Amino acid sequence: MGNPDTSKVGKRGTVVLPARLRRRFGIEEGSFVIAEECAEGILIRPAVVTPVEIYTPERTAEFLLSNAIDADDYADAVQEVRKLGLDPDKIPHHRLSTD
């Protein structure tokens, strides 16, 4: 560990991290960090953020219909799609083969 740096807490709790530490840990403007309580005080470390996809009802319907494993499962998927207020015949999907 190197020498400690002092930073002043600003409005809304903002803290300016010293440039050498930002460079060392790859923290740049817009980066996310995690602040957590630890025995010595507060630990601030880089965070990895994974975007989450939010599905539209149509995309959810497509998943339900395309992933049916048998005729009964497909019938259940059709019911669920109708509960979403959608017409299963108008949702592009991989139709279950009945061969």
Residue 30 counted as domain residue: yes
Task: Show the domain range for 39.
Answer: 11-46
pTM: 0.48
pLDDT band at 61 (very low <50, low <70, confident <90, very high): very high
Residue 95 counted as domain residue: no
> Quick one: 16 and 39 in the same domain?
yes
How many domains is the chain built from? 2
Residue 17 counted as domain residue: yes
> Quick one: 16 and 42 in the same domain?
yes
**What value does the mean pLDDT take over residues 49-56?**
88
Residue 29 counted as domain residue: yes
CA-to-CA dists, residue 78 to 11, 29, 55, angstroms: 54, 47, 18
Residue 39 counted as domain residue: yes
pLDDT value, residue 53:
86
pLDDT value, residue 48:
86
pLDDT value, residue 55:
92
Residue 3 counted as domain residue: no
Which structure tokens are listed for 79? 């019911």
